[in-house]
Amino acid sequence: MTDNYEIVELVKGQHFSCQRDQSLLKAMEQAGKRCIPVGCRGGGCGLCKVQIRSGEFDCGPMSKKHVDEESRRCGQVLACRVYPLSNLTFEYRPADALASAKQQVQ
Amino acid sequence: MRKGVMRPGHVQLRVLDIDAAVHHYTDLMGLIEMDRDDQGRVYLKAWTEVDKFSVVLNPGDEPGMDFMGFKVADDATLTQLGKDLQAWGCAVEEIPAGELKGCGRRLRFQVPSGHFFELYAEKEYTGKWGVSDVNPEAWPRNLTGMKAVRFDHCLMYGDELAATYDLFVNVLGFHLAEQVLDDNGDRIAQFLTVSMKAHDVAFIMHPEKGKFHHASFFLDTWEQVLRAADLISMTDTSIDIGPTRHGLTHGQTIYFFDPSGNRNEVFCGGDYHYPDHKPVTWMAKDLGKAIFYHDRVLNERFLSVLT
Protein backbone atom coordinates (compact mmCIF):
# COMPACT_ATOMS: atom_id res chain seq x y z
CA MET A 1 0.00 0.00 0.00
CA THR A 2 1.30 3.42 -0.92
CA ASP A 3 1.73 6.12 1.71
CA ASN A 4 1.02 8.95 -0.75
CA TYR A 5 -2.18 9.57 -2.67
CA GLU A 6 -2.39 11.58 -5.87
CA ILE A 7 -4.89 14.43 -5.57
CA VAL A 8 -6.29 16.39 -8.52
CA GLU A 9 -8.36 19.57 -8.35
CA LEU A 10 -10.44 19.43 -11.53
CA VAL A 11 -11.36 23.11 -12.06
CA LYS A 12 -7.80 24.49 -12.15
CA GLY A 13 -6.14 21.17 -12.93
CA GLN A 14 -3.72 21.33 -10.02
CA HIS A 15 -2.05 18.15 -8.75
CA PHE A 16 -0.54 17.45 -5.36
CA SER A 17 0.15 14.46 -3.19
CA CYS A 18 -1.36 13.71 0.21
CA GLN A 19 0.10 11.47 2.91
CA ARG A 20 -1.99 9.04 4.91
CA ASP A 21 -3.62 10.76 7.92
CA GLN A 22 -3.05 14.16 6.35
CA SER A 23 -5.99 16.41 5.52
CA LEU A 24 -6.65 17.42 1.92
CA LEU A 25 -6.20 21.09 2.86
CA LYS A 26 -2.93 20.53 4.70
CA ALA A 27 -1.54 18.53 1.79
CA MET A 28 -2.44 21.41 -0.54
CA GLU A 29 -0.79 23.97 1.76
CA GLN A 30 2.38 21.85 2.07
CA ALA A 31 2.57 21.52 -1.71
CA GLY A 32 2.38 25.32 -2.06
CA LYS A 33 -0.84 25.12 -4.11
CA ARG A 34 -3.69 27.58 -3.74
CA CYS A 35 -6.70 25.92 -5.31
CA ILE A 36 -8.70 25.95 -2.03
CA PRO A 37 -8.99 28.99 0.28
CA VAL A 38 -7.60 28.38 3.76
CA GLY A 39 -9.69 29.44 6.75
CA CYS A 40 -9.74 28.03 10.27
CA ARG A 41 -8.47 24.53 9.35
CA GLY A 42 -10.78 23.17 12.04
CA GLY A 43 -14.07 22.34 10.30
CA GLY A 44 -15.66 25.50 11.68
CA CYS A 45 -15.74 28.35 9.16
CA GLY A 46 -16.78 26.52 5.98
CA LEU A 47 -14.40 28.41 3.68
CA CYS A 48 -12.70 25.30 2.25
CA LYS A 49 -15.84 23.46 1.12
CA VAL A 50 -15.13 21.27 -1.89
CA GLN A 51 -16.98 18.76 -4.06
CA ILE A 52 -15.32 15.35 -4.04
CA ARG A 53 -15.68 13.72 -7.48
CA SER A 54 -13.88 10.41 -6.99
CA GLY A 55 -11.95 8.54 -4.33
CA GLU A 56 -12.31 7.18 -0.82
CA PHE A 57 -11.93 9.36 2.25
CA ASP A 58 -12.64 9.71 5.95
CA CYS A 59 -14.07 12.89 7.50
CA GLY A 60 -13.31 14.54 10.82
CA PRO A 61 -15.90 16.62 12.70
CA MET A 62 -17.34 19.53 10.69
CA SER A 63 -19.76 22.33 11.53
CA LYS A 64 -23.32 21.25 10.74
CA LYS A 65 -23.99 24.81 9.58
CA HIS A 66 -21.70 24.22 6.61
CA VAL A 67 -22.00 20.47 6.03
CA ASP A 68 -25.35 18.83 6.75
CA GLU A 69 -26.10 15.13 6.16
CA GLU A 70 -27.24 15.81 2.60
CA SER A 71 -24.06 17.72 1.71
CA ARG A 72 -21.94 14.99 3.23
CA ARG A 73 -23.76 12.32 1.18
CA CYS A 74 -23.16 14.41 -1.97
CA GLY A 75 -19.42 14.63 -1.19
CA GLN A 76 -19.62 18.35 -0.41
CA VAL A 77 -17.26 18.50 2.54
CA LEU A 78 -14.61 20.70 4.15
CA ALA A 79 -11.13 20.03 2.79
CA CYS A 80 -9.58 20.61 6.22
CA ARG A 81 -11.54 17.60 7.50
CA VAL A 82 -11.11 15.26 4.52
CA TYR A 83 -8.55 12.49 5.01
CA PRO A 84 -8.00 10.67 1.68
CA LEU A 85 -7.86 6.85 1.70
CA SER A 86 -7.10 6.57 -2.01
CA ASN A 87 -6.21 8.76 -4.99
CA LEU A 88 -8.86 11.45 -5.11
CA THR A 89 -10.32 14.09 -7.44
CA PHE A 90 -12.33 17.12 -6.36
CA GLU A 91 -13.59 20.51 -7.48
CA TYR A 92 -13.41 23.79 -5.62
CA ARG A 93 -15.94 26.47 -6.56
CA PRO A 94 -16.96 29.54 -4.54
CA ALA A 95 -19.75 28.88 -2.03
CA ASP A 96 -22.72 30.17 -4.07
CA ALA A 97 -21.74 28.02 -7.04
CA LEU A 98 -21.64 24.98 -4.76
CA ALA A 99 -25.15 25.73 -3.51
CA SER A 100 -26.57 25.75 -7.03
CA ALA A 101 -24.66 22.57 -7.90
CA LYS A 102 -26.29 20.97 -4.87
CA GLN A 103 -29.75 22.02 -6.11
CA GLN A 104 -28.98 20.39 -9.47
CA VAL A 105 -28.01 17.16 -7.71
CA GLN A 106 -31.34 17.21 -5.86
CA MET B 1 -21.62 56.88 32.69
CA ARG B 2 -20.90 53.68 34.56
CA LYS B 3 -23.97 51.60 35.46
CA GLY B 4 -22.44 48.92 37.66
CA VAL B 5 -21.16 46.52 34.97
CA MET B 6 -17.67 45.62 36.23
CA ARG B 7 -15.89 43.38 33.78
CA PRO B 8 -16.00 40.45 31.36
CA GLY B 9 -16.77 37.31 33.38
CA HIS B 10 -17.13 34.41 31.01
CA VAL B 11 -17.61 33.16 27.48
CA GLN B 12 -19.28 29.89 26.48
CA LEU B 13 -17.95 28.42 23.23
CA ARG B 14 -19.36 25.51 21.24
CA VAL B 15 -16.79 22.92 20.19
CA LEU B 16 -17.00 19.89 17.90
CA ASP B 17 -14.63 17.63 19.88
CA ILE B 18 -14.56 18.32 23.62
CA ASP B 19 -11.37 16.35 24.31
CA ALA B 20 -9.44 18.13 21.56
CA ALA B 21 -10.80 21.48 22.79
CA VAL B 22 -9.84 20.86 26.42
CA HIS B 23 -6.35 19.82 25.30
CA HIS B 24 -6.02 23.05 23.28
CA TYR B 25 -7.25 25.44 25.99
CA THR B 26 -5.30 23.76 28.81
CA ASP B 27 -2.08 22.23 27.41
CA LEU B 28 -1.47 24.89 24.76
CA MET B 29 -3.03 28.04 26.24
CA GLY B 30 -2.42 27.27 29.89
CA LEU B 31 -5.98 27.55 31.21
CA ILE B 32 -6.87 25.37 34.18
CA GLU B 33 -9.75 22.89 34.17
CA MET B 34 -11.99 23.72 37.14
CA ASP B 35 -15.10 21.58 36.72
CA ARG B 36 -17.40 19.63 34.39
CA ASP B 37 -21.19 19.30 34.40
CA ASP B 38 -23.79 16.73 33.36
CA GLN B 39 -24.35 18.55 30.04
CA GLY B 40 -20.76 17.66 29.16
CA ARG B 41 -19.56 21.24 29.55
CA VAL B 42 -16.02 21.88 30.78
CA TYR B 43 -15.20 24.92 32.95
CA LEU B 44 -11.80 26.61 32.67
CA LYS B 45 -10.06 29.67 34.06
CA ALA B 46 -6.79 31.55 33.70
CA TRP B 47 -4.57 31.54 36.75
CA THR B 48 -4.92 35.19 37.86
CA GLU B 49 -8.72 35.11 37.79
CA VAL B 50 -10.37 35.08 41.19
CA ASP B 51 -13.70 33.50 40.26
CA LYS B 52 -14.23 29.83 39.52
CA PHE B 53 -14.33 29.94 35.71
CA SER B 54 -14.17 32.25 32.71
CA VAL B 55 -14.33 29.87 29.73
CA VAL B 56 -17.00 27.20 29.29
CA LEU B 57 -16.56 24.68 26.47
CA ASN B 58 -19.88 23.27 25.28
CA PRO B 59 -19.91 20.20 23.02
CA GLY B 60 -22.02 20.83 19.90
CA ASP B 61 -22.29 20.21 16.19
CA GLU B 62 -21.60 23.81 15.15
CA PRO B 63 -18.77 25.91 16.65
CA GLY B 64 -19.24 29.52 17.71
CA MET B 65 -20.18 31.50 20.79
CA ASP B 66 -23.24 30.71 22.90
CA PHE B 67 -22.92 33.85 25.02
CA MET B 68 -20.53 36.24 26.76
CA GLY B 69 -21.19 37.19 30.39
CA PHE B 70 -20.34 40.36 32.31
CA LYS B 71 -20.13 40.55 36.08
CA VAL B 72 -22.02 43.41 37.74
CA ALA B 73 -21.45 45.04 41.14
CA ASP B 74 -24.20 43.32 43.14
CA ASP B 75 -27.65 41.73 42.94
CA ALA B 76 -29.53 45.05 43.23
CA THR B 77 -27.56 46.32 40.23
CA LEU B 78 -28.43 43.13 38.35
CA THR B 79 -32.14 43.65 39.03
CA GLN B 80 -31.99 47.30 37.95
CA LEU B 81 -30.07 46.52 34.74
CA GLY B 82 -32.63 43.82 33.90
CA LYS B 83 -35.40 46.44 34.15
CA ASP B 84 -33.36 48.93 32.11
CA LEU B 85 -32.77 46.36 29.36
CA GLN B 86 -36.48 45.58 29.18
CA ALA B 87 -37.36 49.28 29.13
CA TRP B 88 -34.94 49.69 26.22
CA GLY B 89 -36.82 46.93 24.37
CA CYS B 90 -34.67 43.89 25.02
CA ALA B 91 -36.27 40.58 25.99
CA VAL B 92 -34.52 39.35 29.14
CA GLU B 93 -34.44 35.70 30.18
CA GLU B 94 -33.49 34.79 33.75
CA ILE B 95 -31.28 31.71 34.02
CA PRO B 96 -31.45 30.28 37.56
CA ALA B 97 -28.44 30.12 39.87
CA GLY B 98 -26.47 26.90 39.44
CA GLU B 99 -27.27 26.37 35.74
CA LEU B 100 -23.59 27.15 35.33
CA LYS B 101 -21.93 25.47 38.30
CA GLY B 102 -20.86 28.02 40.88
CA CYS B 103 -22.58 30.95 39.16
CA GLY B 104 -25.51 32.93 40.54
CA ARG B 105 -28.62 33.90 38.55
CA ARG B 106 -27.91 35.28 35.11
CA LEU B 107 -29.93 37.67 32.94
CA ARG B 108 -29.57 36.72 29.27
CA PHE B 109 -30.49 38.99 26.38
CA GLN B 110 -29.85 39.26 22.65
CA VAL B 111 -28.39 42.54 21.40
CA PRO B 112 -29.23 43.99 17.95
CA SER B 113 -26.04 42.57 16.39
CA GLY B 114 -27.51 39.11 17.07
CA HIS B 115 -25.20 38.08 19.92
CA PHE B 116 -26.30 36.79 23.30
CA PHE B 117 -24.93 38.42 26.41
CA GLU B 118 -25.49 37.79 30.10
CA LEU B 119 -25.16 39.74 33.31
CA TYR B 120 -24.60 38.12 36.68
CA ALA B 121 -23.59 39.35 40.13
CA GLU B 122 -22.25 36.29 41.90
CA LYS B 123 -19.80 33.51 41.13
CA GLU B 124 -17.89 31.20 43.44
CA TYR B 125 -14.69 32.94 44.56
CA THR B 126 -11.86 30.44 44.31
CA GLY B 127 -9.01 32.96 44.39
CA LYS B 128 -6.05 33.12 42.05
CA TRP B 129 -4.95 29.65 41.04
CA GLY B 130 -1.71 28.25 42.41
CA VAL B 131 -0.77 31.17 44.66
CA SER B 132 -1.96 31.93 48.16
CA ASP B 133 -4.10 34.93 49.15
CA VAL B 134 -1.50 36.07 51.69
CA ASN B 135 2.09 36.82 50.67
CA PRO B 136 1.43 35.43 47.18
CA GLU B 137 4.39 34.34 45.03
CA ALA B 138 4.78 36.06 41.65
CA TRP B 139 3.31 33.19 39.67
CA PRO B 140 2.59 29.47 40.02
CA ARG B 141 5.43 27.27 38.76
CA ASN B 142 3.24 24.53 37.30
CA LEU B 143 1.49 26.45 34.53
CA THR B 144 1.52 24.99 31.03
CA GLY B 145 1.85 26.31 27.48
CA MET B 146 1.19 30.00 26.92
CA LYS B 147 0.34 30.54 30.61
CA ALA B 148 -2.58 32.83 29.73
CA VAL B 149 -3.02 35.48 32.42
CA ARG B 150 -6.73 36.25 32.03
CA PHE B 151 -9.70 36.04 29.69
CA ASP B 152 -9.73 39.60 28.38
CA HIS B 153 -12.36 40.37 25.70
CA CYS B 154 -14.25 39.10 22.66
CA LEU B 155 -14.73 40.49 19.16
CA MET B 156 -18.11 39.96 17.52
CA TYR B 157 -19.14 40.39 13.89
CA GLY B 158 -22.73 41.44 13.14
CA ASP B 159 -24.96 44.23 11.86
CA GLU B 160 -27.00 46.99 13.56
CA LEU B 161 -23.91 48.43 15.22
CA ALA B 162 -25.64 51.76 16.00
CA ALA B 163 -28.44 50.12 18.01
CA THR B 164 -25.90 47.81 19.67
CA TYR B 165 -23.84 50.88 20.62
CA ASP B 166 -26.92 52.56 22.09
CA LEU B 167 -27.66 49.54 24.28
CA PHE B 168 -24.09 49.04 25.52
CA VAL B 169 -23.39 52.73 26.14
CA ASN B 170 -26.71 54.11 27.34
CA VAL B 171 -28.15 51.08 29.15
CA LEU B 172 -25.07 49.16 30.32
CA GLY B 173 -22.70 52.11 30.82
CA PHE B 174 -19.90 51.13 28.44
CA HIS B 175 -17.62 53.77 26.93
CA LEU B 176 -16.53 53.97 23.30
CA ALA B 177 -12.74 53.68 23.47
CA GLU B 178 -11.90 53.21 19.78
CA GLN B 179 -13.82 53.26 16.51
CA VAL B 180 -13.46 52.91 12.75
CA LEU B 181 -15.47 55.35 10.60
CA ASP B 182 -16.23 55.02 6.90
CA ASP B 183 -16.25 57.92 4.42
CA ASN B 184 -19.85 58.76 5.36
CA GLY B 185 -18.95 58.98 9.05
CA ASP B 186 -20.74 55.72 9.83
CA ARG B 187 -19.17 53.56 12.50
CA ILE B 188 -18.08 50.17 11.11
CA ALA B 189 -16.16 49.08 14.21
CA GLN B 190 -16.70 49.92 17.88
CA PHE B 191 -14.42 48.99 20.77
CA LEU B 192 -16.30 49.31 24.05
CA THR B 193 -14.98 49.30 27.60
CA VAL B 194 -16.22 49.31 31.20
CA SER B 195 -12.67 49.56 32.54
CA MET B 196 -9.32 51.15 31.71
CA LYS B 197 -8.80 48.58 28.94
CA ALA B 198 -9.07 49.62 25.30
CA HIS B 199 -11.82 47.03 24.89
CA ASP B 200 -13.88 44.68 27.00
CA VAL B 201 -16.00 43.80 23.97
CA ALA B 202 -15.77 44.92 20.34
CA PHE B 203 -18.03 44.77 17.29
CA ILE B 204 -17.22 44.94 13.58
CA MET B 205 -19.91 45.50 10.93
CA HIS B 206 -20.81 42.33 9.05
CA PRO B 207 -23.99 41.46 7.10
CA GLU B 208 -24.70 38.24 9.01
CA LYS B 209 -25.87 38.57 12.62
CA GLY B 210 -24.37 36.84 15.62
CA LYS B 211 -20.98 35.77 14.26
CA PHE B 212 -18.02 35.15 16.55
CA HIS B 213 -14.58 36.46 15.61
CA HIS B 214 -12.37 35.68 18.60
CA ALA B 215 -11.94 35.25 22.32
CA SER B 216 -8.82 36.97 23.61
CA PHE B 217 -6.48 36.24 26.49
CA PHE B 218 -3.92 38.56 28.04
CA LEU B 219 -0.18 37.86 28.30
CA ASP B 220 2.31 40.00 30.21
CA THR B 221 4.96 40.74 27.62
CA TRP B 222 5.85 40.77 23.92
CA GLU B 223 8.31 37.99 24.66
CA GLN B 224 5.40 35.88 25.92
CA VAL B 225 3.56 36.57 22.65
CA LEU B 226 6.62 35.37 20.70
CA ARG B 227 6.80 32.32 22.95
CA ALA B 228 3.11 31.67 22.19
CA ALA B 229 4.01 31.77 18.49
CA ASP B 230 6.73 29.16 19.11
CA LEU B 231 4.21 26.92 20.87
CA ILE B 232 1.72 27.31 18.00
CA SER B 233 4.41 26.00 15.62
CA MET B 234 5.58 23.25 17.99
CA THR B 235 2.02 21.92 18.29
CA ASP B 236 1.16 22.48 14.59
CA THR B 237 -1.81 24.60 15.68
CA SER B 238 -3.73 26.41 12.95
CA ILE B 239 -2.40 29.98 12.80
CA ASP B 240 -4.26 33.01 11.47
CA ILE B 241 -1.76 35.88 11.63
CA GLY B 242 1.05 37.26 13.77
CA PRO B 243 2.98 37.95 15.84
CA THR B 244 2.25 41.58 14.95
CA ARG B 245 0.80 44.79 16.35
CA HIS B 246 -2.66 46.27 15.91
CA GLY B 247 -3.20 49.92 15.00
CA LEU B 248 -6.51 49.82 16.89
CA THR B 249 -5.62 49.57 20.62
CA HIS B 250 -1.89 49.20 19.63
CA GLY B 251 -1.88 45.76 21.28
CA GLN B 252 0.81 43.23 20.32
CA THR B 253 -0.86 40.08 19.20
CA ILE B 254 -1.07 36.66 17.59
CA TYR B 255 -4.21 34.93 16.27
CA PHE B 256 -4.80 31.21 15.92
CA PHE B 257 -7.68 28.74 15.91
CA ASP B 258 -8.94 26.14 18.35
CA PRO B 259 -9.51 22.60 16.96
CA SER B 260 -13.14 23.49 16.07
CA GLY B 261 -12.19 26.64 14.17
CA ASN B 262 -13.04 29.21 16.86
CA ARG B 263 -10.44 31.97 16.67
CA ASN B 264 -8.31 32.79 19.73
CA GLU B 265 -6.01 35.72 20.39
CA VAL B 266 -3.24 36.14 22.92
CA PHE B 267 -1.89 39.67 23.24
CA CYS B 268 -0.02 42.08 25.47
CA GLY B 269 0.16 45.83 25.88
CA GLY B 270 -2.44 48.11 24.39
CA ASP B 271 -3.70 51.59 25.13
CA TYR B 272 -5.67 52.62 28.21
CA HIS B 273 -8.94 54.49 28.43
CA TYR B 274 -10.34 56.78 31.11
CA PRO B 275 -13.97 57.97 31.01
CA ASP B 276 -12.92 61.51 30.04
CA HIS B 277 -10.99 60.27 26.98
CA LYS B 278 -12.45 60.93 23.56
CA PRO B 279 -12.63 57.83 21.35
CA VAL B 280 -9.61 57.00 19.21
CA THR B 281 -10.65 57.03 15.55
CA TRP B 282 -9.29 55.11 12.58
CA MET B 283 -10.61 55.67 9.07
CA ALA B 284 -11.99 52.74 7.06
CA LYS B 285 -9.73 53.58 4.11
CA ASP B 286 -6.79 52.82 6.43
CA LEU B 287 -8.31 49.61 7.79
CA GLY B 288 -5.26 47.55 6.82
CA LYS B 289 -3.01 49.61 9.11
CA ALA B 290 -5.75 49.88 11.76
CA ILE B 291 -5.90 46.12 12.08
CA PHE B 292 -2.34 45.02 11.18
CA TYR B 293 -0.05 47.94 11.98
CA HIS B 294 3.09 46.38 10.49
CA ASP B 295 1.81 44.75 7.28
CA ARG B 296 -0.69 47.59 6.72
CA VAL B 297 -2.68 45.13 4.59
CA LEU B 298 -5.67 43.09 5.67
CA ASN B 299 -5.68 39.38 5.12
CA GLU B 300 -9.03 38.28 3.75
CA ARG B 301 -9.17 35.53 6.37
CA PHE B 302 -9.38 38.04 9.23
CA LEU B 303 -12.59 39.52 7.77
CA SER B 304 -14.32 36.44 6.44
CA VAL B 305 -13.40 33.48 8.65
CA LEU B 306 -15.90 33.36 11.50
CA THR B 307 -17.79 30.82 13.57
Active-site residue among B115, B153, B175, B273? B153
- Does residue A47 belong to the interface with chain B, where contact is any CB pair within 8 Å? yes
Name the residue of chain B whose CA is nearest to A63's CA: B62
- Going by pLDDT thresholds of 50, 70 and 90, the confidence category of residue A104 is very low
List residues bridging with B191 in a β-sheet: B178, B202
* The pLDDT of residue B194: 97
Q: Confirm if B158 and B208 have CB atoms less than 8 A apart.
A: yes
Quickly count: other Cβ atoms within 10 Å of residue B288's Cβ. Answer: 14
Min Cα distance A57 → chain B (Å) is 20
Using an 8 Å CB-CB cutoff, list chain B residues near A39: 261, 301, 304-305
Of B299 and B164, more confident:
B164
Instruction: Assess whether the previous peptide bond of B243 is cis (omega < 30° from 0).
Output: yes
Using an 8 Å CB-CB cutoff, list chain A residues near B304: 39, 45, 47
What's the pLDDT tens digit per position in B123-170? Answer: 999 999 999 999 999 999 999 999 999 999 999 999 999 999 999 999
Query: Residue B61 pLDDT > 50, yes or no?
Result: yes
The pLDDT > 90 percentage for chain A reads 84
User: A41, B16: Cβ pair inside 8 Å?
Assistant: no
What's the pLDDT tens digit per position in B208-232? Answer: 999 999 999 999 999 999 999 999 9
* The pLDDT of residue B283: 97
Instruction: Give me the sign of the Cα torsion angle B223, B225, B229, B232.
Output: positive
Whole-number Å distance between alpha carbons of B90 and B84: 9
Pairs of residues, one from chain A and one from chain B, whose beta carbons lie less than 8 Å apart: 59
Give kind and range of the element (H or E) at residue B6.
strand B5-15
- Does residue A44 belong to the interface with chain B, where contact is any CB pair within 8 Å? yes
* The pLDDT of residue B230: 98
Q: Which residues on chain B place their C-beta less than 8 Å from a C-beta of chain A?
A: 16-17, 61-64, 238, 257-263, 300-301, 304-307
Whole-number Å distance between alpha carbons of A97 and A26: 23
* The pLDDT of residue A3: 76
Mean pLDDT, residues B60-79: 98
What's the pLDDT tens digit per position in A12-45? Answer: 999 999 999 999 999 999 999 999 999 999 999 9
pTM over 0.90: yes
Q: Alpha-carbon Rg of chain B, whole angstroms? A: 18
* The pLDDT of residue B1: 80
Provide ipTM, 2 decimals: 0.91
Nearest Cα to Cα of residue B301 among A45, A51, A32, A61: A45
The pLDDT > 70 percentage for chain B reads 100
Q: Which amino acid is at B108?
A: R
Q: Which amino acid is at A73?
A: R
User: A40, B16: Cβ pair inside 8 Å?
Assistant: no
What's the pLDDT tens digit per position in A64-95? Answer: 999 999 999 999 999 999 999 999 999 999 86
* The pLDDT of residue A106: 42
Quickly count: other Cβ atoms within 10 Å of residue B256's Cβ. Answer: 26
Please provide the average confidence, as pLDDT, over all residues in chain B: 97
B305's CB contacts (< 8 A; 6+ apart) are A39, A40, A45, A47, B240, B261, B263
Q: Confirm if B232 and B176 have CB atoms less than 8 A apart.
A: no
